[in-house]
Structure 1
Amino acid sequence: MELKDDIESDSLGVVEKIVEKDEEKRSDRRDVWTNKLDFILACVGMAVGLGNLWRFPYLCYKNGGGAFLIPFLFFIVIGGVPVFVLELGLGQYTSLSGMKAWNICPMFQGIGIANVITTSLTNIYYVMVLAWAGYYFVLSLKAVLPWSNCNNDWNTKRRGFLQLTTDVTEGGGIIWQIALSLLVVWVIVYFCVWKGVKWMGKVVYFTAIFPYVILTVLLVRGLTLDGAGEGVVYYLKPDLSRLADIQVWIDGGTQVFFSYAVALNQIVTLGSYNKFTNNFYRDAILISCINSGTSLIGGFAVFSVLGFMAKQHNIPIEDVANAGPGLAFITYPNAVTQMPISPLWAALFFLMILLLGLDSQFAGVEAVITAMMDLFPNLMRRGNRRMFIVGVYCLVTFLVGLSMVSRGGMYIFQLFDYYSASGMVLLWSVFWEVVVIAWIFGADKFYDAIEMMIGSRINPYLHFCWKYLSPVLCMGLLLAKFIMFRPLKYNKTYVYPDWAQGFGLILALSSMVCIPVFALFKLADSKRII
Structure 2
Amino acid sequence: MFGALPLFFMELALGQFNRQGPITVWRICPLFKGVGFCAVTVSYFVSFYYNVIIGWSVYFIYWSFSKNLPWVGCHHGWNTDNCSVQANISSGRSPSQEFFSRAVLETYKSEEYDLLGPPRPALVVCVALVYTVLYMCLFKGIKSSGRVVWITALMPYVIIIILLLRGVVLPGAAEGVKFYLQPDLSQLSNMQVWNDAAVQILFSVGAGFGVHLTYASYNEFNNNCYRDCLIATGVNSMTSFMSGFVIFIYLGFMSHQRGVPIQHVATEGPGLVFQVYPEAIATLPYPQLWAVLFFSMLIMLGIDSGMGGLECVITGLMDEFGARFKSWHLHRRVVTLFVVGSSFLVALTSLTPGGIYVFTWLDTYSAGLALLCSALFEAIAVGWVYGSHVLARDIQQMTGSTPGLFWRCCWKFISPLFLGSVLVLGVVFSGPLSYDGFEYPLWATALGWTYALVPALFVPHWITA
When the two structures are superposed, what TM-score results if normalisation uses the length of structure 2?
0.91
Counterpart residue number, 2:430: 485
Gap change, CA 1:388 and 1:487, over 3 Å in 2: same
Report deviation, 1:222: 1.5
Report deviation, 1:384: 8.6
Distance 2:271 2:281 in 1: 14
Counterpart residue number, 1:246: 191
Counterpart residue number, 1:358: 303
Local SS of the residue matching 1:284: helix
Counterpart selection for 1:118 from 18, 22, 42: 42
Distance 1:352 1:457 in 2: 39
Counterpart residue number, 1:215: 160
Does the aligned pair in 1 maintain the 2:61–2:295 contact within 8 Å?
yes
Counterpart selection for 2:175 from 227, 230, 234: 230
Letter paired with 1:270: Y
Letter paired with 1:101: V
Q: Which runs of 4+ in 1 moved over 6 A?
A: 381-384
Counterpart selection for 1:499 from 443, 447, 452: 443
Distance 1:400 1:517 in 2: 25
Local SS of the residue matching 1:516: helix
Local SS of the residue matching 1:209: helix
Report deviation, 1:398: 1.3
Counterpart selection for 1:163 from 106, 116, 125: 106
Does the aligned pair in 2 maintain the 1:113–1:511 contact within 8 Å?
yes
Counterpart selection for 2:339 from 393, 399, 405: 393
Report deviation, 1:381: 6.3
Counterpart selection for 2:240 from 295, 306, 309: 295
Report deviation, 1:163: 1.1
* Deviation digits for residues 44-68 of structure 1 (CA, Å, limit 9, x no counterpart): xxxxxxxxxxxxxxxxxxxxxxxxx
Residue 96 in 1 paired to residue 20 in 2?
yes
* Deviation digits for residues 271-301 of structure 1 (CA, Å, limit 9, x no counterpart): 1111222111111111111111111000000
Counterpart selection for 1:511 from 441, 446, 455: 455
* Deviation digits for residues 224-282 of structure 1 (CA, Å, limit 9, x no counterpart): 21110110011012333333333333322222112111111111111111122211111
- After the TM superposition, which of the residue ranges 151-160 and 82-91 deviates more from structure 2? 151-160
Does the aligned pair in 2 maintain the 1:174–1:406 contact within 8 Å?
yes
Counterpart residue number, 1:8: none
Alignment of 1:49-64 (within 5 A): none
RMSD in angstroms over aligned alpha carbons? 1.7
Counterpart selection for 2:229 from 284, 291, 297: 284
Alignment of 1:329-368 (within 5 A): 329-368=274-313
Local SS of the residue matching 2:67: coil
Counterpart residue number, 2:365: 419
Distance 1:380 1:359 in 2: 27
Counterpart residue number, 1:129: 53
Counterpart selection for 1:185 from 130, 150, 167: 130
Letter paired with 1:461: F
- After the TM superposition, which of the residue ranges 462-471 and 250-259 deviates more from structure 2? 250-259
Residue 85 in 1 paired to residue 5 in 2?
no
Report deviation, 1:435: 1.6
Local SS of the residue matching 1:436: helix
Residue 149 in 1 paired to residue 149 in 2?
no
Distance 1:487 1:119 in 2: 25
Counterpart residue number, 1:328: 273
Counterpart residue number, 2:94: none
Distance 1:516 1:487 in 2: 28
* Deviation digits for residues 393-416 of structure 1 (CA, Å, limit 9, x no counterpart): 222221221111111111111111
Distance 1:296 1:270 in 2: 25
Task: Give aligned pairs, total.
Answer: 443
Distance 2:181 2:291 in 1: 25
Report deviation, 1:334: 1.4
Letter paired with 2:440: Y
Local SS of the residue matching 1:487: coil
Counterpart residue number, 2:264: 319
- After the TM superposition, which of the residue ranges 429-438 and 472-481 deviates more from structure 2? 429-438
List alignment gaps of at least 5 residues for structure 1. 1-76, 522-530
* Deviation digits for residues 169-220 of structure 1 (CA, Å, limit 9, x no counterpart): 2223221111100010011101111111111111111111111111111111
Does the aligned pair in 1 maintain the 2:64–2:292 contact within 8 Å?
yes
List alignment gaps of at least 5 residues for structure 2. 82-97
Report deviation, 1:520: 2.4
Distance 1:420 1:384 in 2: 29
Local SS of the residue matching 1:399: helix
Does the aligned pair in 2 maintain the 1:373–1:381 contact within 8 Å?
no
Distance 2:224 2:231 in 1: 11
Distance 2:153 2:186 in 1: 38
Does the aligned pair in 1 maintain the 2:117–2:352 contact within 8 Å?
yes
Alignment of 1:424-503 (within 5 A): 424-491=369-436, 493-503=437-447
* Deviation digits for residues 133-181 of structure 1 (CA, Å, limit 9, x no counterpart): 1111111111211111233334446852321132222223221111100
Gap change, CA 1:500 and 1:250, over 3 Å in 2: closer
Distance 1:151 1:316 in 2: 27
Gap change, CA 1:394 and 1:250, over 3 Å in 2: closer
Distance 1:393 1:238 in 2: 42
Distance 2:382 2:345 in 1: 38
Counterpart residue number, 1:268: 213
Distance 2:375 2:65 in 1: 43
Does the aligned pair in 2 maintain the 1:416–1:507 contact within 8 Å?
no
Does the aligned pair in 2 maintain the 1:403–1:409 contact within 8 Å?
yes
